[in-house]
A and B are shown apart, each in its own frame.
Chain A
Amino acid sequence: MSEYIVEMRHVTKRFPGIVANDDVSLGIKKGEIFALLGENGAGKSTLMSILFGMYEPDEGEVYVRGKKVEHFSPNHATAMNIGMVHQHFKLVSNYTVTENIILGMEPQKRLGGFLPVVDIKNTNQKIADLSKKFRLEVEPTKKIEDLNVSMQQRVEILKMLYREAEILIFDEPTAVLTPQEIEFLLDIIREMRRNGKTIILITHKLEEIKQVADRCAILNRGKVVGICDVAETSTKKMAELMVGREVSFTQEKSPFRPGEVKLTVDHLVVKNADGFPVVNDVSFSVRGGEIFAIAGVAGNGQVEIADAVAGLTKVSSGTITLGGKEITDAAVRARNRQGLAYIPEDRQSWGLILDFTLSENLLLRRYDQEPYCVKGVLHREKFDEKSRQLIEQFDIRSGQGEKTVVRSMSGGNQQKAIVAREIDQDAPCIIFVQPTRGLDIGAIENIHRQILEERAKGKAILLVSLELDEIMSLADTIGVIYNGQLLKIAPADTMSTNEVGQYMMGVKE
């Protein structure tokens, strides 16, 4: 038997128009935390889906505990004690934690000696014990729909542990978590290593790898470009391998030359469904050539401000003025015409039509204008022409170019597509909400550069972000929101990261 518990030899997997994994060879040792690093679309999920049996490799072999894998299916993988937490959780929302965990292998008892019924009660206890052992703090009788994302993720972890998984795969587990939750998760992962489990951690966040991983394989466009000992390799080196070129963590920023006021928000109040003011008397204005960033802990009303400006939520009182014209109650399309572009937080439900092609999505704002539509007839070749130009300009990568169905694209490239479409409108005011959430360094760099370019062109930019680093490196003016109120508005260079952080907690003043 080799020293590896999992070994992949020359694994190749193709999808229409793209080689997702290209001759990948790697070995994972028992009891280690092995990280898989790579940009969005590098093929990380695909590679681990092969190990979990969801895809069969087109070429190459997979060995688990020295034995060649013959049958690829999640059932076989589970039988080999392999478990996976997918990027999108696979949970039944109206079931309890226990019901979700036992689904597919429900323990039975006999009622009155013969009637088989699923035994939930006894299992609840078992799962509570398991949860305690790994310090997951999950309540077995809670319903999934009442749990937050971090809890749901821990349910997925419990699901693997309940199935006695020894090799646990985590597909970008931290993408959806807050910093505290990430700490918590990394602790759990360490706890599992202490219990002798082998862990594969897919991520594109270097700090996490530095924190927990023992070894790390780096994927770039489907190929393994390096396998390194984390302790001995610098973050910068890993980042370069991952992106395939030198990366700069900070962007060149041109001097701040504000123009005239483009967007004004005056005494804005937005109430939620319960009538509670989630945005409470907020006033600010954004000038041309200025990046006005709203900093704050998630859920303090920042997204509602952006939605109100974009016309997606109803304003209770106050006014919004764009380019000298009041738009408080204007329709979304009217605001658009008035010169407002919007990059929403949830790209999949608000930003894109997932089952349309890239070309169609890129022209969602213009399809009804000439030359794309003449006398009510769409001209597809013009769509495609324009799309190819945007794809080139914004470096949007996909399997089949402008003909790719957007659903099959990676998150980073979906985001680039939205940014491309919105920036291409050449609107004087652009709202970015969490523009880089879940993206890798390469894509973040790309999007930050686009934002700064728009600023240099004199656009007024409203940026809402939960990443303090992002705000500190981009903003000209920072507004800190707490409990629906802007506690502080000040030029970015007059505030330290620490100070902003304190306002975010609502502690200062």
Chain B
Amino acid sequence: MSDIIVNGMSFSLPLFIIAVGGIYSERSGVTNLALEGFLGAGAFFGAVFTALTAGMFAATSQLPMYLSMVVAMAGGALYAVIHAVLCIKFKANQVISGVVVNILAMALTDFLTSQINAGVLGQSSDKFVLNVSTRLTFQPLASLPVIGGFFTNVYPFEFIIIAVAVVAWYAMYKTRFGMRLRACGDNPYAVDAAGCNVARIQFIAVMVSGALSGLGGMCFAYSVFGNFSTSIYTGYGYLAIAAMIFGNWKIPATLGACLLFGFARAAGYSLIQYLGLPGAYSDLIMILPYVLTLLLLMFFSKNNRAPRALGEIYDKGKR
């Protein structure tokens, strides 16, 4: 049981922060299928940073991990500019732009990873190895029955994610900026009439989306994979989108969706281990969250309401 909680949390939270990124973009009216590309590109920047600065820190230092997360956020935001420019400046179809951005991220990071490995680090590899994150166990809470799992083997990044998510929630629901952002997703013309710059708000929203995805991607790199390679593009971005939709584009509900997905996945793994099934079955478990998504969407999508102006190309002159 404790295992399920530990694994569930360490998967759910990065997924959650990526989904929050998606919420930022989509609540501002910009469809975002590019989360996968954002998280990959962000993690790539973070990983390059750790690889290049590896000599400057002691092998056991945790500092590079924290720094790499900052770099991943900046990198994700930077990469998101592509999507923002295509969708907002050039008014491209947002779905197409998202897909293109994903494909581009995968190809580009794959290529650059081997090039940097060969050219700068002098080794032939298609991945950047990351050092191991410490994990924290809080006694005596960890010894509590059942909920002890929440305090056992916790990745430090889980706290960072929770803190960032709280800030993101505050900014979206309590501040001027958030109020305008959400208004853009419903009726950008109203925001324009109120004297605000719709394009700027959406641009920032997409960049925030990139930053949060980058953070999530870096956390995945440290927890699920332990390195950076293109294996990071395994559909978690799309899973985050599913969580966002299932969470009805709201931050708290999306957290619920992510926890559900994460725990379903972790429970599946535990089950396989318990039954002693061969490794091939774990692939089957990987699809569990997706199957769950499909089922849930089938039953709940009726109550779901996407932002009204989502995906609509905002054109000032249009009447």
Contact = CB atoms under 8 A, between A and B. Distances in A.
Interface of A: 74-75, 78, 86, 88, 90-95, 99-100, 103-106, 108, 111, 115-118, 407-408
B28 to A, nearest CB: 13
B52 to A, nearest CB: 37
B183 A103 contact: yes
B180 A104 contact: yes
A90 B318 CA distance: 13
Contact of A108 (B170, B176, B318): B176
Q: Which 5 A-B pairs have the closest CB atoms?
A: A104-B194, A90-B190, A90-B193, A117-B174, A75-B195
A117 B178 CA distance: 10
B104 interface: no
Nearest to A73: B195
Contact of B187 (A93, A104, A117): A93
B318 A95 contact: no
B191 interface: yes
B176 A93 contact: no
Given A103-B191, A104-B195, A93 B186 contact: yes
13 contacts: A88-B319, A90-B187, A92-B183, A92-B191, A95-B186, A103-B179, A103-B180, A103-B191, A104-B180, A104-B194, A115-B174, A116-B176, A118-B174
B195 A95 contact: no
A93 B175 contact: no
B1 interface: no
Contacts of A94: 182, 186, 308
B319 A103 contact: no
A92 B190 contact: yes
B45 to A, nearest CB: 30
Q: Report, as a range, how many residues of chain B touch the other chain.
A: 20 to 34
A115 B178 CA distance: 14
Contacts of A407: 318-319
A118 B176 contact: yes
A95 B183 contact: yes
B319 A91 contact: no
A6 to B, nearest CB: 20
Contacts of B318: 407
Interface in B177-229: 179-180, 182-183, 186-187, 189-196
Interface in B130-184: 170, 174-176, 179-180, 182-183
B175 A86 contact: no
Contacts of A104: 180, 191, 194-196
Residue with the greatest number of chain B CB neighbours at <10 A, chosen from A93, A99, A104, A408: A104
B179 A74 contact: no
A78 B196 CA distance: 12
A88 B176 CA distance: 25
Contacts of A111: 174
Contacts of B186: 92-95
A117 B194 contact: no
Interface in B276-319: 308, 318-319
A302 B174 CA distance: 45
Given A93-B186, A94-B308, A407-B319, A74 B176 contact: no
B319 A74 contact: no
A100 B190 contact: yes
A74 B190 CA distance: 12
Given A92-B190, A94-B308, 13 more contacts: A74-B193, A78-B195, A86-B193, A88-B319, A92-B182, A92-B186, A93-B186, A95-B182, A103-B183, A103-B190, A103-B194, A105-B194, A118-B179
Nearest to B319: A407
Contacts of A95: 182-183, 186
A106 B179 contact: yes
B201 to A, nearest CB: 11
A99 to B, nearest CB: 7
Contacts of A408: 319
